[in-house]
Amino acid sequence: MELADETRKVVCSRRETERVFSLPQEWRRILAWGPRHRLLVARFTFLVALTSLVALIGTVAIYFLERSARGTEITTVFDAFYFTTVQLLTVSSSLRTPLTTGGRVLNILFEIWGVLFVAGATGSLAAFFLSEDHEA
């Protein structure tokens, strides 16, 4: 008799299950533009703007640090921009390592920034999907 009572507690009706999770309701919740969408857009805008600023400053710094080094591949501003962008967007690319100490330090910072950017973007997406809608 005890087993039958426990089984009744576990088995839910369809209505109770739909209240917990309903795929159509979930799609409507995700696709409806609300405060959490604005927050996600704000977070991604912040990440992209900050990364663009890092790329701009990094391009100038790499250019001035590497342009006069003997045997460097970075001789123009475009080369510096290309190097900086690739290092910010990838981890351990196939480009040659900078020759100067300052260039190598910047390269390490670019790699760290790339990892932090991916972590920030992933965290923003996770917060978006796990957040609840709060209607005022």
Rounded-to-integer distance, Cα 10 and Cα 21, Å: 16
The amino acid that residue 66 corresponds to is E
Residue 68 is classified by DSSP as T
Q: In angstroms, how far apart are the furthest CA atoms of the chain?
A: 87
pLDDT digits (tens, 9 = 90+) for 25-48: 777 777 777 787 888 888 889 989
- Encode the chain (136 residues) as per-residue pLDDT tens digits: 555 555 555 555 555 555 566 777 777 777 777 787 888 888 889 989 999 999 999 999 999 999 888 888 889 999 999 999 988 887 766 778 888 999 999 989 998 998 888 888 898 888 888 877 654 4
Per-residue pLDDT at 13: 57
CATH fold of 33-130: Helix Hairpins (1.10.287)
Domain boundaries, the chain: 33-130
Q: What would the two tokens of residue 127 be?
A: 């917060």
Give CA torsion, residues 62, 66, 72, 77, to 10 deg. 50
pTM of the model: 0.67
Burial class of residue 8 in the structure, from the number of CB atoms within 10 Å of its CB (0-12 exposed, 13-18 middle, 19+ buried):
exposed
Per-residue pLDDT at 7: 52
